[in-house]
Structure 1
Amino acid sequence: MAANTQHARPWKLGFRHRRWMIGGVIAALALTAGCSNRDPQTADNSGAGALTIVDQRGRTITLDGPARTVAFTVMPAPSIFAAVDRSYDRIVGINQSTRVANRGGMFATMFPASADTTTVAGSDFVPNVETLLKLRPDVVVQWGDRGASVTEPIESAGFPVVGLKYGTQEDLEQWITLFSRIAGKPDRGEQLVAWQRSEQAEMRTRVSGQQGHRPRAMILSRAGDTYSTTTAEGYDGFQFDLVGADLVTKGFVSDSGTVGPEQILSWDPEVIMLSGFDESTPADIYSDPRLSGVSAVRNKRVYKTPLGAYRWQVPSAESPLMWQWMNRILYTGAHDGQLRDDIRAAFDDLFAYRISDDEIDQVLRLDLNKNAANYDQFLR
């Protein structure tokens, strides 16, 4: 693979081609010969010295200084930490689901070590203490709102634990802030949170100008013949409203999220966004005769959600890109190529990576979505 010779550009995101330099003063980077699109990174010793962190449990954690090694039992925390650090160098342990996403998306391309990083927990988030003892991370990041059974074994083994909560945009912004403290880069955290908030404000302005009907939409997962969905009580309640959609599952209550075809027909979503946590494709939905009467199926408005550094549908460092993608498939407009430009700028700043056009196609799942209505707006 030949190196991409495009020079890194200033941070430029937003619907009006807003230019905004993020990351403070970034050292001039020389393009290296060989097969990597990654920018060389310089050491950051700005956070030297002991530090204290108050996690989302309200617990105070004291570290000798910025962590040299971090293990994550949760996802998508590693991709967010990598965006804060612009590096994968400190990450020594991850969740099994994170490794699956790494291998399936862009993350392993940007950070090859992430494809084989040691797993320290599975889908139940129960920590593998024996593995942690071998890795000896400076700090472990774990859910802080799922009871002591997932945190006490780690603390009993002698490792500091930073506990997280999940479910809101505010939680995501706190993750970014916590990770910037762990990395000894508080200014970087402030800049990324400011970007998230600025993009929210721009999206609200954009949606307020999109007068008329708000499309009915939903997230859908499929496993065999069984469907499941998300509710408005979680993050989707926030982001569907932000981008100008009426989430059809508002008021839906289900511990498992399982939903029958009859209920989907009753909701009659105009747009269906397929989860990135399973292998379902738009073709699978179109071929299910039980859903043939759904508006989104009839009008070819079923879309596989993007997979960038992580699955875009959940809170992540790339969430502003997800909001743009959602709004653009909900409200068709000019094919201005802005989202591709914003992906390119975001990957440059978040991950110090010069993403190619072919890789942007991969992120946007053009292979699966190419026949969906108005998806040609994302063609290069």
Structure 2
Amino acid sequence: MKKTVSIVLSALMSISLLTGCSNSTASSASASAAAASEVPSEVTITDHADRTVTVPTDPKRVAILSILPLPSMLTIYLDSASSIVAMEPGSMNAAKNGVLSELYPEILNVSTNIMDGNDVNIESLIALEPDIVFYNAGNKSEQEKLENAGLTAVGVSPTKWNYDCIKTYNEWMKLLDQIYPSHASDREDLVDQYSSQKYAEIQEKVSGISEKQKVLFLFQYDTKTMITSSASFFGEWWCNAVGAENAAHDVNADNSNAVISMEQVYAWNPDVIIITNFTSTSPDDLYNNAVGSDDWSTVKAVQDKRVYKMPLGSYRTYTPGVDTPMTLEWLAQAVYPEIFKDYDVASDVKEYYKNLYGVELSDEQVEKMYTPNRAAGKWN
């Protein structure tokens, strides 16, 4: 692990040397001012819905709908949440109960009063006068509402790249770099390099495994429903990324529609259960049979005490985001503790945030990330 971190550190140092040593402070300031003056006021882009959209560059007022991880990503990208005027309650709840609101307290001032149930309240949104509204590229009806209201809408897709968290994150970054030219940098390439190196490192270590661990993801679970990840959701990618078998691979449903029963869980008898932060349920709830009348006592993962709650980093780590490479490391160690016993996740996540995003995490914040509270699982 330290070798990988060292590679990234060396890359960062090289970039610093190449861009900084030959320029004085005064000339650097002049160059920055010149570059800023050359940024056009508008740019025409192709969004993830394959729409051609002309948008203002470096927008000052942004609303984010239905792409719940994007507010956290944009906040860290800009090193500020001050330009975000609206986001959905599900995004706010993750920020409020995680470290994002500690790192960027201004995010708590963002309005969430833009929804009528599951639908956007166009009047409330218009009143906020956003320069750009980011929305889920797959939500055609929402797109039409925004366009009919005369709002500049940019589609962002969580599914276009087959639930590949690394590829999806990179494509989001590329889109932001076009819209925010004053903030575009080599960081996108460094994040891609770091994530790809982490993925390759894990793949190499698990390549010789003869019997894969069977993993069941619980995306949502309470007394009303149990939803997992089939082959068409992020859980499949996470399993493949760490050399595991997705227990629910053959469930015939995509995205968050893979509803399952205890009878199916008994038949799969998973070695490991991973609970996301899209539910308030914790490992103790399974150990103690605390959810309705469901009996988990005969399930192997429960008997072996191998039920884990996913970390809550800058956002819920099941989805693509800032924390993806560190979540890979955490999950690999959870599924194959002996193979990845040398990983020091707490130390590595500190280095990752500091070197790639300039964010200093305290010991307490790292602990909070990896022991998230129940409230983070609420969507509103």
Please give the TM-score of this superposition, normalised by the length of structure 1. 0.81
In structure 1, give the amino acid aligned to 2:243: G
Aligned residue among 184, 187, 191 for 1:186? 184
Native 8 Å contact 2:122 2:146 kept in 1:
yes
Distance 1:158 1:272, change over 3 A: same
Shift of 1:124: 6.7
Aligned ranges for residues 334-349 of structure 1 at < 5 Å?
A: 335-336=341-342, 338-349=344-355
In structure 2, give the amino acid aligned to 1:269: P
In structure 2, give the amino acid aligned to 1:171: T
Aligned residue among 167, 170, 174 for 1:173? 170
Distance 1:97 1:146, change over 3 A: same
Query: Where in structure 1 are there 5+ consecutive unaligned residues?
Result: 1-11, 29-41, 369-380
Q: Confirm or deny that 1:298 pairs with 2:303.
A: yes
Per the alignment, residue 163 of structure 1 pairs with 155
In structure 2, give the amino acid aligned to 1:244: G
Distance 1:76 1:47 in 2: 31
Shift of 1:191: 3.4
- TM-superposition CA deviations, 1:63-114 (whole Å, max 9, x none): 2322222210121111122232232232221111000111111111111122
Per the alignment, residue 9 of structure 1 pairs with none
Distance 1:332 1:340, change over 3 A: same
Distance 2:146 2:202 in 1: 40
Native 8 Å contact 1:176 1:193 kept in 2:
no
SS of structure 2 residue aligned to 1:142:
strand
Per the alignment, residue 61 of structure 2 pairs with 69
SS of structure 2 residue aligned to 1:232:
coil
In structure 1, give the amino acid aligned to 2:210: G
Identify the structure with the greater helix proportion.
2
Distance 2:316 2:57 in 1: 31
SS of structure 1 residue aligned to 2:347:
helix
Paired residue total: 342
CA RMSD, aligned part only? 2.9
Aligned ranges for residues 355-374 of structure 1 at < 5 Å?
A: 355-365=361-371
In structure 1, give the amino acid aligned to 2:353: F
Q: Once the two structures are aligned, what percentage of the paired residues are identical?
A: 24
Distance 2:355 2:147 in 1: 35
- TM-superposition CA deviations, 1:117-163 (whole Å, max 9, x none): 1126559763222222222121110011122x101222222221111
Distance 1:68 1:190, change over 3 A: farther
Shift of 1:45: 3.9
Distance 1:279 1:206, change over 3 A: same
Q: Confirm or deny that 1:117 pairs with 2:118.
A: no
Query: Where in structure 2 are there 5+ consecutive unaligned residues?
Result: 21-31, 375-380
Aligned residue among 115, 120, 125 for 1:132? 125
Higher deviation after alignment, 215-224 or 252-261: 252-261
Native 8 Å contact 2:61 2:130 kept in 1:
yes
SS of structure 2 residue aligned to 1:162:
strand
Shift of 1:13: 7.1
Higher deviation after alignment, 136-145 or 183-192: 183-192
SS of structure 1 residue aligned to 2:295:
helix
Distance 1:293 1:360 in 2: 33
In structure 2, give the amino acid aligned to 1:219: F
Distance 1:249 1:123 in 2: 33
Per the alignment, residue 7 of structure 1 pairs with none
- TM-superposition CA deviations, 1:171-212 (whole Å, max 9, x none): 33211211222222333334333333333223322322x533
Native 8 Å contact 1:71 1:120 kept in 2:
no
Distance 1:198 1:229, change over 3 A: same
Shift of 1:347: 2.3
Native 8 Å contact 1:274 1:302 kept in 2:
yes
Distance 2:93 2:345 in 1: 26
Distance 1:60 1:225, change over 3 A: closer
Per the alignment, residue 270 of structure 2 pairs with 269
Distance 1:367 1:53 in 2: 39
Aligned ranges for residues 240-259 of structure 1 at < 5 Å?
A: 240-254=239-253, 256-259=257-260
Native 8 Å contact 2:271 2:301 kept in 1:
yes
Higher deviation after alignment, 105-114 or 85-94: 85-94
Per the alignment, residue 28 of structure 2 pairs with none
Distance 1:250 1:311 in 2: 22
Native 8 Å contact 2:333 2:341 kept in 1:
no
- TM-superposition CA deviations, 1:285-310 (whole Å, max 9, x none): 01126111111000000011100110
Higher deviation after alignment, 345-354 or 177-186: 345-354
In structure 2, give the amino acid aligned to 1:62: T
Aligned ranges for residues 73-112 of structure 1 at < 5 Å?
A: 73=65, 74-112=67-105
Per the alignment, residue 376 of structure 1 pairs with none
Native 8 Å contact 2:311 2:372 kept in 1:
no
